[in-house]
Chains A and B, each alone.
Chain A
Amino acid sequence: MSLEARDLSFGFRGRVVGSGIDLALAPGRVLCLLGPNGSGKTTLMRTLLGLLPRLGGEIRLDGRDLESWSPRERASRLGYVPQSAETFFDFSLIEMVEMGRTAHRGIFARPSRRDGEAARQALETLGISTLAERPIHGVSGGERQLALIARALATEASLLVLDEPTANLDFGNQMRVLAEIERLRESGIAILLCSHDPGHALEVADEVLLIRDGRTFARGTPSEVLSDANLSRLYGIEVHYHGPHARPVRQAPSQP
Chain B
Amino acid sequence: MSTTAQADQLIANEWSGGTHPYRIGHRKLGMWLFIVSDALTFSALLIGYSYVRASSDQWPTPFPFYPSIIFSSVMTLCLLSSSLTMVMGVQASARRDFKAIRKWIVLTIIFGAAFIVLHLIEWKHLIDEGLGPSTLPAEWLHRWPNASPLFGAAFFGITGLHMFHVATGLIYLAVVAARAKKLKHEDVEISGLYWHFVDLVWMFVFPMIYLLSVDFTP
Are A and B a genuine interacting pair, yes or no? no
